[in-house]
Structure 1
Amino acid sequence: METDCTRHPGVAPLAAGTRLLHIGPHKTGTTAIQGALFAAKDDLPAHGVVFPAHSRHPMEAALAACARPAMMGDTVPTEKHWTRLLDAVRASGGRTSVVSSEFFADAPDDATALRIVEQLGGERVHVLVTLRPLARIMPSQWQQYVQNGLRMGYGDWLEHMLRKPPYEAPNPSFWRRHRHDRLVERWARVVGPERVTVVVVDDRDRDGLMRTFEKLLGLPEQILQPVPDTVNRSLTLAETEMVRNLNVEFRGNGLPDELYSRLVRNGAVLHMKNACSPTADDVKIVTPRWALESAAAVGAESAERIAGLGVRVIGDTALLGAVPESAEEPPAKARIAPEVAAQALYGALAAVAATAPASATGSQVRTVHQTPSKDLVRVLGHRCLKRLRRR
C-alpha cells in the first residue's frame, strides 16, 4: 500500500489524460470539490484538465448510470443525462477530465460499476474515494434523508442502523455508501487496486482536500477555492425536526411525491436554507456516546481492511476509527425560531404561487376560507400536480 500525507508536497499526480471518477461517497466533501471545480471550469483547460459536467453536480447523469431513482418527487433521470455527460467527457480528448458525483457510490453491483468505467474510458479511468469518519457522517446523512421524506427520529434511526440487523431499514442505501471498506473493495475489483486512490479527509485541515485534488490533477496551488453554498448547509436539529414532522403529516394525508419535491424540499427547505444562517444558539444534531463508539468500531475495521486492499491511500486512516473526544448528551427538545419557521412557510407559499393559476379571483379566496383544511390541502396538491404535468 502506498500512503501519502494530505499536506505532503510529494503526492504524485495522475497520468495526463486520466479520466478521474470521484465517487464520493456522500458527506465526504463532495459538494465543496464539485463547487470549486465548476467555479474554475474555464481556467482548468490551460493546465490540461477538463471538468466536463454542465452543472456543478451531474446528479441526474450519475443516477441514470447507476439505474437509481431520483429524490422523492423529482423528475426521473433518463439515459440522455448520462449520454450527455459521456459526450462531454469524450470531447475532452487527451486531456485529464474529472467526473464527480457521490451517487456513483450507489452503483448496485460490479456489473454496473464495470459498465460505467468502460463507457468513461476503460483503462483511462482512475477511481477516487473520499472518506470521513462515520461519527461525523451520521448526523449529516440522517438530516439529508429527512429532506427526502424520512419520518424517523435520529435516536430511532441510529438504533436501526447500528443495532437492528440486517441494518437496512429504513435506509438500505446508508451502508451501501458508508461501509467504506466494502465500497473501496467493490471498485478495486472493477478497475484494479492500482487504479484506486482513497483520500481520508481531515476536518481540522479545511483546505486539505482542495490541495490534494490540485496535486492529483497537476494543477497550480490555490486554483481551487471554496465556493459559498448555503443551499448545501446542514439543518439544525430544530429545522430537521420541523421537516420530519411535516413528513409525517404529508404521508398521513396521502399527498403526491411531486408536491413534496416542489413545496417542501425545493420550496420551504430551500428558502429556509438561503434566508437563515444557524447561530450559536441553535441546537445541533448530537450523536449519543454509544453510537459514536459503534461508528468508530466500524470505521476502525474499515480502515484495517482498506490497508490490505493494495490501493493508494492519502491521509491518516486512523481518523476513521477515532472516537470524538467530547460527546454531548442529546438535548431533550429543540424549538425552531419564529423567523425560521416564517421563512420556511414563505418558501412553500412562493412555490405555490409559482404554480397557482394566474386567474385566481376574490370569489375563489372566499370559497377557500369555507373549505376544511384537510380538503384544502388535497385540492392544492391536485392543482400543483396537474400544473406540473402540463409543464
Structure 2
Amino acid sequence: MTSTRPRLYLHIGTPKTGTTYLQDVCWHNRELLAEDGVRYPGTAADSQFRAVIDVMSGRFPDWHDRVVPGSWAAIVAESREAVESGRSVFLSHELLAPASPDEARRVLDDLSFAEIHIVCTARNLASQIPSVWQEDVKNGHRFGFREFAAALAEDRPRSVWLADVFWDFQDLPTVLRTWGGHLPPEQVHVLPVPARGAGDDVLWRRFADLLGLRPTGYRTDVRRGNRSLGMAEAELVRRINVALADRVTRRDYQDVVKFRLAQRHLAERAGKAPIVLEAGQYTWARQRAQEFVEAIEKAGYHVVGDLADLLPGDPPEGAAKAQRPPEPEELLDVSLDALGTLVDQLVAELEKPAPPQAPAGWKHRLVALSERHEAMMRVRKGYSRLASRRR
C-alpha cells in the first residue's frame, strides 16, 4: 500500500560521487524546487553540513564552531514544517555515509514524521579511489597514493589507517544496510554516477527523475567548487603537508593550503596528469565492485540508472606505471607555478587600503591634545594630581 505522507529524501553520499554538484544545484534552485513541491532546508549553503556535524558530533569531536550547536534541530524543524504543509524534503550530506547503526537510528527517528527515502550516489572504484585520495591530501593527509591504494586490498586493520576510513565511507552494501536495513527496499535508491564523459546532466536527470522534478528549467551549470587535483599537483600538496608537520591550525590550513592553493589554483591547472590505479589493481577493484552490484541486486533496492556504471572498465594506456612519483622537473614546474600564485595573492592583499581606524575615545583625544598644547598639558597634570589624592 502506497503511503500518502510526504517524502523526505535523505542523501547519504558517498563522498566524491557528485554530491557537491547536486547540493550546489539544489541550493541555487531553491525557488524552483519549491515550485515543484520540494523543500531544500537551510539558511546558507552549508547549513546541512553544519547540521550533520551537530547530529554526529561524537564522530567529529575536533570540529569547533559556535554556529554548529542547534543546527540539526533547526533543519529538523524546517523539514517538519515543510512536511506538515504537504511538501517533500531533500536533505544531503556525504558525511552521513559512515554512520554507525546507532547514529543512523537517531537521525531516522528524528525524521520519522515523513516517509523516509534513502538516496545513495555511487561510483566505480577505479575512479573513486584516486578521487578520494587526492581529497584526503587536500585535507592534510600525507600517505602516498601507491601506499594508500595497496592498503585498500588488505584486511582490516590495514597498514594505512586511512584505508580503513575509505571503506567506512565506500563499502556500499554496509552503508546501505546501515541506513536502509529497516526500510522497505523500494525506499532505498541507488544512483550510479554515469561513466566519465557522460556529463553532469545525466546525473542530474537521474536525480530529477527520482524526486519527480521537471528535467529541464533548472540551472545546472553551477561552478564546480571541488575539482580534483592531478598527480603532480596532489604530490606537491602532500609534500607540503609533510613539511608543515601540523605547524598550522586546521582553520589556517583550510584557508591557505586547501582553498587558496589546491582548489582555487592547482585544481584549475590545464593539462593535469590524471591519478589512476596500476593495471594489476584493476582486477581486485573490479571484483569488489562486482560484489557491490550483486549485493544491491539481492537486496532489491531501487536503482536509478545502470549498475554497470559501477564496474571499472579496462585500465587506461600507461596504467602499468601510473603511480610513479612525478619527475623532479614536473614537480618543480608545478611548485614554481604555485609559488607565483601565492606571491600574487600576497601582493594583492598588501595593496588593499588599510581599514579605517575606529575613532578614538574622548580620553585618547584629550591626551593627544595635551601633547600639542601646553595649556591642555597643565589641565591634564592637574587632573592627574587630583585623581591621585582621591585614591
Give the TM interval when normalised to the shorter protein: 0.7 to 0.9
Q: Aligned runs of 1:33-52 on 2, under 5 Å? A: 33-52=22-41
Q: Aligned runs of 1:190-269 on 2, under 5 Å? A: 190-203=182-195, 204-206=197-199, 207-251=201-245, 254-269=247-262
Q: Aligned equivalents of 1:15 and 1:344: distance in 2? A: 56
1:162 paired residue number: 153
Task: Tell me if 1:18 matches 2:7.
Answer: yes
Q: Aligned equivalents of 2:63 and 2:129: distance in 1? A: 24
Task: Tell me if 1:53 matches 2:42.
Answer: yes
Q: Point out which structure has higher relative CO (alpha carbons under 8 A, 6+ apart).
A: 1
Residue 352 (structure 1) shift: 10
Mark the CA change 1:344 to 1:83 in structure 2 (over 3 Å): closer, same or farther.
Answer: farther
Largest Rg, 1 or 2: 2
Q: Aligned equivalents of 1:53 and 1:106: distance in 2? A: 23
Residue 72 (structure 1) shift: 7.9
Q: Percent identity?
A: 25
1:144 paired residue number: 135
Equivalent residues of 1:19, 1:97 under 8 A apart = yes
Local SS of the residue matching 1:292: helix
Equivalent residues of 1:293, 1:323 under 8 A apart = no
Residue 45 (structure 1) shift: 1.4
Residue 263 (structure 1) shift: 2.9
Residue 231 (structure 1) shift: 2.9
Instruction: After superposition, give the CA deviation of every residue in 1:261-296 in whole Å (9 maximum; x if it has no partner).
Output: 3332244334425xx72323x222122112222211
Mark the CA change 1:122 to 1:229 in structure 2 (over 3 Å): closer, same or farther.
Answer: same
Task: Give the counterpart letter for 1:84 in structure 2.
Answer: A
Q: Aligned equivalents of 1:76 and 1:245: distance in 2? A: 32
Residue 33 (structure 1) shift: 0.9
Q: Aligned equivalents of 2:116 and 2:143: distance in 1? A: 39
Equivalent residues of 2:186, 2:300 under 8 A apart = yes
Mark the CA change 1:347 to 1:201 in structure 2 (over 3 Å): closer, same or farther.
Answer: same
List runs of 5+ in structure 2 lacking aligned partners. Answer: 358-391
Task: Tell me if 1:176 matches 2:168.
Answer: yes
Equivalent residues of 1:14, 1:217 under 8 A apart = no
Give the TM-score of the pair, scaled to structure 1. 0.77
Residue 14 (structure 1) shift: 10
Q: Aligned equivalents of 1:221 and 1:24: distance in 2? A: 22
Equivalent residues of 1:198, 1:312 under 8 A apart = yes
Task: Tell me if 1:341 matches 2:339.
Answer: yes
Local SS of the residue matching 1:233: coil
List runs of 5+ in structure 1 lacking aligned partners. Answer: 1-12, 360-391
Local SS of the residue matching 1:20: strand
Equivalent residues of 2:21, 2:224 under 8 A apart = no
Instruction: After superposition, give the CA deviation of every residue in 1:293-326 in whole Å (9 maximum; x if it has no partner).
Output: 2211111111111111121122222332333352
Local SS of the residue matching 2:97: helix
Q: Aligned equivalents of 1:347 and 1:325: distance in 2? A: 40
Task: Tell me if 1:135 matches 2:126.
Answer: yes
Residue 15 (structure 1) shift: 6.9
Task: Give the counterpart letter for 1:50 in structure 2.
Answer: R
Give the TM-score of the pair, scaled to structure 2. 0.77
Local SS of the residue matching 2:121: strand
Q: 2:18 aligns with which of 29, 35, 42?
A: 29
